[in-house]
Amino acid sequence: MLLLSLLDANAQTRKERLTEYVYYFASDSLRGRKAGTPDAEKARYYIVARYKEAGLKPYLNNDFVVPFTKAGVQYANVVGLIEGNSLKDEYIVLGAHFDHLGVKKGEIYPGADDNASGSAALIEIARELVAHRDQLERSVIIAAFDAEELGLYGSNALAEFLDATIGIDKIKLMMSVDMVGWYGQSGKLVMDGTATIRDGKKLVKEVAERHSINVQSKSFENSPFTATDTQGFAERHVPTLAVTTGLKSPYHKPGDKAELIDYDGLDKVTGYLADLAETTASDAEFSASGKVARKHEGKDPLFECGVVLGTGGTSMRFPDARMTTDGSNSLNAGLMGRFNFGKGGLQFNVLYDYASSYFPNVNETLGVAQKYYQQAVTVPAYLILRNGEGGNSAYVGAGGYYSYAFQHKFSDTDPVWTVNPHQGGMAAVFGFQLGPVLMEWSFRWQLSRLFAGQDNARLNYGSYITLGWVF
């Protein structure tokens, strides 16, 4: 039977095989391949059969199925090996998750693009690498990951296992193939992480030219809202490439069906990735750049900076009269800098500050209040305490600020008081950071005089909400 299956597979074109795989993975009979169910098990053993057809060897204990346990539930990756030659103790890892969302409220989520497309491509990449095994200096691990949708369980388990057995330093590249079925619609193949490889951008572009494929090279995976199967490897400083045709498909919806896949594009992508994998496995000079995405560093840099934009309200306080006016709109924008020292640090901003506040009518006690407007350059500085690291943290801080008011005016007749351009006081901040995204609530209390020669007015900056992006 195996011989007949091999003959049948070899009689088909690569595109025909890819189409067959995707239609099977996304079929109603697999009911969305939810991890931990018999449906995912069916997909798993289908992959085992295809790996055998392709000529792969099991990576471990003569069995392609490598089980692991997470939160008391057993799952299993499917892991094969193509042994290299002169550098066979070094490895390239190619992976794609095969699980999806299963059935929700009676509707099947077939997951054709996410990630039947990547699972199909991985099988055919393996087939081509086996055919060229004589050219491979490094060994190649082919891994179909389980339980990605539950939290990258399968890829994290394999990264941990390889780290403990062969040593993570032996892994020279990990490439995740996830959602690659909509090339025609997106018009590009995105490669995140090229800066983790020495001359990575040049490499992916040169191979792309051989296949007339449009590759969009991105230096790092920096989105705080997404994660792929590269994560467990990237956090251990392995060079990684996250490969996708993007988010054009109806992924995570019941409409992600096999008939919507661009099979010509999937065939093109598969050929390109097989060539790229062979190139990296065959080049003895291939190496890491030493650079790691911020989200994968696992620790904070000594210094970081970013841009911030904030809005809030400002009121005027008269301590002698024990009176505070109603608040009015204010905004600021500028730069943020932070020195990190363990769980603490020093944070400062350089801001353009636009503040406005109601001001009592000095001529009529019961008259309509006018408005005071001020533009300033403001520098708040805080000593901060943080909980967390690696770009994901919550923090609180306290300190002070200095403002130089370079322009001011009143909406009505100016009072006789002269504005003091040098202003300052206390400041506090509470915030959190998720990857490069920053959100803060800050407060300022002015201690200096607002008007020269007058003790009876201060600006109070109420709750300021600030959004930022850290580089």
**Where residue 417 sits, what CATH number does that domain have?**
2.40.160.20
Nearest to 186 by CA among 205, 206, 210, 214: 214
Mean pLDDT calculated for residue range 121-140: 97
- Point out the domain boundary residue: 251, 273, 296: 296
Q: Given this model, what pLDDT does residue 364 score?
A: 57
Going by pLDDT thresholds of 50, 70 and 90, the confidence category of residue 4 is: very low
Coil, strand or helix at 57? strand
Distance of CA 213 to the CA centre of its chain: 25
Q: Is there a single domain that holds both residue 100 and residue 180?
A: yes
Structure tokens at 338: 């932070």
Q: What is the pLDDT averaged over residues 12-24? A: 97
What are the distances in angstroms from CA 192 to CA 69, 173, 223, 239? Answer: 29, 13, 10, 11
Render pLDDT for 142-188 as a digit per residue (tens, 0 to 9): 999 999 999 999 999 999 999 999 999 999 999 999 999 999 999 99
pLDDT at 365 exceeding the cut of 60: no
> Does residue 21 surpass a pLDDT of 60?
yes
Number of structural domains (the chain) is 2
pLDDT of 349 over the 80 cut: yes
Whether this prediction's pTM lies above 0.85 is answered by no
What is the pLDDT, as a whole number, of residue 368?
A: 65
- Whether 224 shows a pLDDT value over 70: the answer reads no
Question: So what's the pLDDT on residue 322?
Answer: 76
Q: Which domain holds residue 172?
A: 2-296
252 and 358 assigned to the same domain: no
Tell me, what's the pLDDT at 367?
58
Dist. CA 468–CA 471, nearest whole Å: 10
Residue 381 near residue 338 (C-beta atoms within 8 A): no
Lowest mean pLDDT among 121-135, 189-203, 332-346: 332-346
First to last CA, the chain: 57
Same domain membership, residue 335 and residue 309:
yes
**Residue 323 pLDDT more than 80?**
no
Closest alpha carbon to 416 in 365, 362, 369, 360: 362
Same domain, residue pair 237 and 333: no
Sign of the torsion angle spanned by Cα atoms 228, 229, 235, 239: negative
Cα angle: 113, vertex 117, 119; to 5 degrees: 130
Q: What is the pLDDT of residue 3?
A: 43
Q: Between 453 and 162, whose confidence is greater?
A: 162
- Residue pair 158/229 in contact (Cβ under 8 Å)? The answer is no
Instruction: Give residue-wise pLDDT tens across range 69-128.
Output: 999 999 999 999 999 999 999 999 999 999 999 999 999 999 999 999 999 999 999 999
In percent, how much of the chain has pLDDT > 70? 93
Q: Are residues 36 and 88 in the same domain?
A: yes
217 and 362 belong to one structural domain: no
Whether residue 127 is found in the same domain as residue 199: yes
Look at residues 228, 261, 296 and tell me which one is the last residue of a structural domain.
296
Residue 35, SS3?
coil
User: Which of 281, 296, 311 delimits the end of a domain?
Assistant: 296
376-404 pLDDT per residue, tens: 999 999 999 988 765 678 999 999 999 99
CATH, residue 138: 3.40.630.10
- 166 and 202 share one domain: yes
Q: What is the dihedral of CA 63, 65, 68, 71, to 10 degrees?
A: -150
Q: What is the CB neighbour count within 10 angstroms for residue 13? A: 9
Sign of the CA dihedral 117, 163, 44, 80?
A: positive
Could you tell me if 312 and 387 lie in one domain?
yes
The mean pLDDT value for 26-48 works out to: 97
112 contacts 193 by C-beta, under 8 angstroms: no
Check pLDDT > 80 for residue 301.
no
Same domain flag for 289 and 337: no
410 contacts 403 by C-beta, under 8 angstroms: no
Please check whether residues 231 and 337 belong to one and the same domain.
no
- Give every CB contact of residue 66 below 8 A, 6+ residues apart in sequence: 59, 60, 76, 77, 78, 79, 158, 161
Report the chain's mean pLDDT, rounded to a whole number: 91
Residues 291, 438 within the same domain: no
